[in-house]
Structure 1
Amino acid sequence: MKTVHNLGSLLDSLQESTSGEKVSVGAMLDAVGRRSYGPLLLLLGFVSISPLTIIPGANWLVALIILLIAGQIVFGKKHPWVPGRILRFEFPRGALMEGLRQAHPYVCQVDRFLKPRLTFLTEPPFVQLVAIVCIAAALVSFPLGLVPFGPVLPGLTVLLFGLALTARDGFVLFLAGLGLIGSCFLVIRIWERVFG
C-alpha cells in the first residue's frame, strides 16, 4: 500500500490495490489506509462524486460512513472503526475505474495547488470542527440523494476536507466551507420548491 498524501497517490493506490469485477468498501479503505482519517475522508469524498454513486442507495451508504468516521473524529477516537457489515458491501470495480479515469486529467492541477500552510487548522481542536462540518455535509447528502447529482456538492466538501487533512493544507478548509454553504443553499432551494 502506498502512502496517501494527495489525490494522485489516493487514485494510484485504489487502482493498484484492488482487482476483480467487484470491490468492497473494506478493500478501498485498505488501499488508502484505515488508520488515518484524512485519507479516509478523501476516499469517501471521491467516491461520493464518482460514477459509483449511480448505484441505488450508494450515496446514502457513503454518507452513513462519513457520519461514522467524522463522528469518531469529534469524540477523539485515535483510529477509525467501521462495522464489518459495511466493509463487506461491494461496488462494481468498473465504475470505480471509470471514476479514476475521469479524475485523472485534474489530478496534477489539484495536487500542484496543495502544500502545508495554516497547518494549525488541521490539528485539534480545529480538526474536530472540520469533522462537524463533514457531519453536516453527510446529513445534507441524504435529502440531496433524491435529486440527480444533488450529493456532488457535499461530496466535494468532504473530498476537500480530506485533502486538507491529508496534505495539512488549512487554506483548502476554507474552500471546503464554501462547498458546504453551496450545499445548504441547494437544500433550502429544493425545500422551497417542494414545500413552498
Structure 2
Amino acid sequence: MTKVNNLSSLLHSLETRTEGEMVSVREMLNAVGRRSYGPILLLLGFIAVSPLTIIPGATWLVAILTILIAGQILIGRKFPWIPSRLLKIEFPRSALLQGIQFADPYVCQVDRFLKPRLTILTSPLFAPFVALICIAAAVLTIPLGLVPFGPLLPGLTVLLFGLALTARDGFMLILAALGLAGAAWLLFRLWTRISAAFT
C-alpha cells in the first residue's frame, strides 16, 4: 500500500487504488490506510472540500465520520474503527476524480510547505487538543451545511489537521486552529443575520 504522508500521496492513492463507476467509503479508506488517524482525517478533509459534497447528505456523512474518528483519538483508541454500515456508503467515482483534478495544480505547492516542525504539537500529549478541534469543526459543519460553501472552512480545518499529523507539522496545526476560528466566526455572522431577520 502506498504510504500517505502528504496530499500528493493521498490523491495518488485515491486515483490508482479505486476503480469502477462508484467508490465506497471502505475503498477510499483502504486506499489511504485505515490503521492511521492522520491519513483518515486528511481523506475526510479532502472530501469535505471536494465536489463529492454536492451529493445530498455527503457533508453530514463526513461530519459524522470526523466526529467518530476524532472521538476515538480523544479516548486514546490505538486504531480507528468505523461501523460497517458507513463503510458501505458509495459515491460516484467521477466526482472523486473531479476533486483530484481540481486540487492537482495546488498539491505540489502545499506539499512543498510541509515539513516536520513544532513536532511536539503532533505528539500524543496534544492528541486530545487535536481531537477536540476536529470535533468542533465537524459540529460546525452541520449547520453550515445548509449554506452554500459553508462547510468549506471547517472541512479545510480537518484537512489541515490531517496534513499536520501525517507530516508531523505543528505549524500546520496552528493554521488549522485558525481555520476553525474562521468557521466559528462565519457561523456567528450567519446566526446574527438570521436573528436580525426575525426581529
Question: Which band: TM-score by shorter chain?
Answer: over 0.9
Q: Aligned partners of 2:128, 2:119: CA distance in 1, in Å?
A: 14
2:161 maps to 1:153: no
Partner of 2:56: 56
Q: Aligned partners of 2:158, 2:16: CA distance in 1, in Å?
A: 23
Q: Aligned partners of 2:76, 2:16: CA distance in 1, in Å?
A: 31
Cα deviation, residue 127, structure 1: 1.6
Partner of 2:162: 162
| % identity of equivalent residues | 67
Task: Point out where structure 2 has 5 or more consecutive residues left out of the alignment.
Answer: none
Q: Aligned partners of 1:11, 1:161: CA distance in 2, in Å?
A: 16
Q: How does 1:97-116 map to 2 (within 5 A)?
A: 97-116=97-116
Deviations 1:153-195 (A, max 9, x none): 0000000000000000000011101100000000001111112
Cα deviation, residue 128, structure 1: 1.4
Q: Secondary structure of 2:94's partner?
A: helix
Q: Aligned partners of 2:22, 2:167: CA distance in 1, in Å?
A: 30
Task: Point out where structure 1 has 5 or more consecutive residues left out of the alignment.
Answer: none
Q: Aligned partners of 1:33, 1:124: CA distance in 2, in Å?
A: 20
Aligned-residue CA RMSD (Å): 0.5
Q: Secondary structure of 1:125's partner?
A: helix
2:105 maps to 1:93: no
Partner of 1:14: 14
The structure 1 segments of at least 4 consecutive aligned residues displaced by more than 6 Å after TM superposition are none
Q: Secondary structure of 2:81's partner?
A: coil
Code of the aligned partner of 2:97: M
Partner of 2:194: 194
Partner of 2:132: 132
Q: Secondary structure of 1:102's partner?
A: helix
Q: How does 1:61-76 map to 2 (within 5 A)?
A: 61-76=61-76
Q: Secondary structure of 2:23's partner?
A: strand
Code of the aligned partner of 1:103: A
